[in-house]
Amino acid sequence: MNEDNLFNYPFLRSLARDYYPELKSSLEEFLENNQEFLEKAAHIINRILENRNVDLVEIGSPRERVLLYISAKMLLTYMGDYFVSARYALWERRNLYEAMKNEEFEVLTEISKELGIELQLQDDNYALPISSFLKYSTVFNDKDLNLCNQLIKNGAVLVNLDVLRKIIREAFYSQFLDDVSKPVEFPDEIAEILEKYSKPIIASSIEIRKELSDLGPRNVKAFPPCMVKILDDVSKNANLSHAARFYMVTFLHKVGYENDEIIKMFGKVPDFAEKITKYQVEHITGKGRGREYQVPSCQTLGSLGLCYKESDELCMSGKIKHPLQYYRIKNSGK
């Protein structure tokens, strides 16, 4: 692998350190010498947050790509805002998926290793552990990614490149959000710098949330088709993916359902366990801990296989970017 690989895969830490010695410096030294990248990263995050196009061709070199990526992670960690972090993570996730289209096995192996997935070649297929496949395939509403549709040999799942790309991108997305969601106590002098570049992002986030907050009275008839489908699955005693459960809790909470009502709905799910469900619902809705998770955007839901816009005229109009936007419009009768 060479430096050029870092343009597409800036999260390859050991490779980045080999080429850029400044990454071995302390956080204070890095910020002192690279504040220009914090400013550029803040600009990129803000554009992504506002659903404006950001093309990688705007970034000049592998070094700039790596330093922007690191700077973005610093800002997102400092802000601790899942809503903002998820939108940025989706952008990186799409870049990663596209970059792997015609990638060499050596590079795919290094990417997988970075994400904790052991990858091998077996019978002209990519072989990965069953545990890794199950962990990162369950977010999809995709028959081709069911374990029963895969070839299993010698304790590994054999997949083609397209399936491998999807597994890798979900591993990246999950781990990225885990990384930036960990609470970090930054020294005052560093927090002051990060606060400066975070302000425009926070302002945009507040405006977007305001737009999504005026929802009107609770009205099940205004639910978007994605939520209708999930609730229909629940009524049929179907099991739900982790992503569908998360979305269901955040959406119902936002439109006015109490936690006890949401927990009761999960009673029809085959693996229902009241204590576990209660803990998870309270965790997501922020009860007793102060941090409330946000409802995923349409873009996020689409990437998770939870979008059913083809069945709805309003969704197909191209005007809807968020399920709460759909709910607000339908609830207002416009």
- Mean pLDDT across 132-159: 78
Q: What is the pLDDT of residue 148?
A: 79
Angle, helix 161-181 to helix 130-137, in steps of 10 degrees: 70
Distance between CA atoms of 22 and 16, rounded to whole angstroms?
10
The pLDDT score that the predictor gives to residue 144 is 67
pLDDT for 256: 86
β 151-153/125-129 pair status: unpaired
Query: In what side-by-side order are the strands of the sheet with 151-153?
Result: 120-122, 125-129, 156-159, 151-153
b vs e for 65-101, b when ≥16 Cβ sit within 10 Å of the residue's Cβ? Answer: bbbbbbbbbbbbbbbebbbbbbbbbbbbbebbbebbe
Confidence of residue 97 (pLDDT cuts 50, 70, 90): very high
Q: Are 281 and 263 in contact (CB under 8 A)?
A: yes
What values do phi and psi take at 153, rounded to 5?
-145, 135
Asked whether residue 290 carries a pLDDT value surpassing 60, the answer given is no
pTM above 0.75, yes or no: no
Q: Across residues 163-189, what is the average pLDDT?
A: 89
Q: Give residue for tokens 């290793």.
A: 113
In this prediction, residue 228 carries a pLDDT of: 94
- Tell me the DSSP string of 306-329: ---GGG-HHHHTT--SSHHHHHHH
Q: In residues, how long is the chain? A: 334
To the nearest 10 degrees (0 to 180), the angle between helices 161-181 and 82-99 is 150
Token duo for residue 244: 């569908």
pLDDT at 99: 94
Mean pLDDT, all residues of the chain:
87
- What share of the chain has pLDDT > 90, as a percent? 41
Asked if pLDDT for residue 78 goes beyond 90, the answer is yes
**R_g over Cα of the chain:** 21
Q: Judge whether residue 210 has pLDDT over 80.
A: no
Helix (H, G, I), strand (E, B) or coil at 247: helix
User: Over the stretch 296-327, which tens digit does the pLDDT of each residue have?
Assistant: 889 888 888 899 888 899 999 988 889 998 99
Distance CA 321, CA 226 (A): 13
Whether the per-residue pLDDT at 187 is higher than 60: the answer is yes
What was the pLDDT predicted at 108? 95
Better pLDDT: 214 or 30: 30
Average of per-residue pLDDT across 244-269? 90
Residue 118 confidence (pLDDT) above 90: yes
Evaluate if residue 209 carries a pLDDT over 70. Answer: no
Cα(100)–Cα(160) distance, integer angstroms = 12
| Average pLDDT rounded to a whole number, residues 250-269 | 89
Query: Of the ranges 6-15, 25-34, 64-73, 321-330, which one carries the lowest mean pLDDT score?
Result: 25-34
* Main-chain dihedrals φ then ψ at residue 283, nearest 5 degrees: -65, -45
Output the pLDDT for position 138: 61
What are the sequence ranges of the domains in the chain? 5-99+183-209, 105-173, 214-332
Residue 288 has pLDDT above 60, yes or no: no
Measured CA to CA, the distance from residue 206 to residue 333 in angstroms comes to: 25
Q: Any residues with CB less than 8 A from the CB of 90 and at least 6 apart, and which?
A: 173, 299, 300, 303
In this prediction, residue 42 has a pLDDT band, given cuts at 50, 70 and 90, of: very high
Residue 82 pLDDT more than 90?
no
The DSSP element (H or E) to which 152 belongs, if any, is: strand 151-153
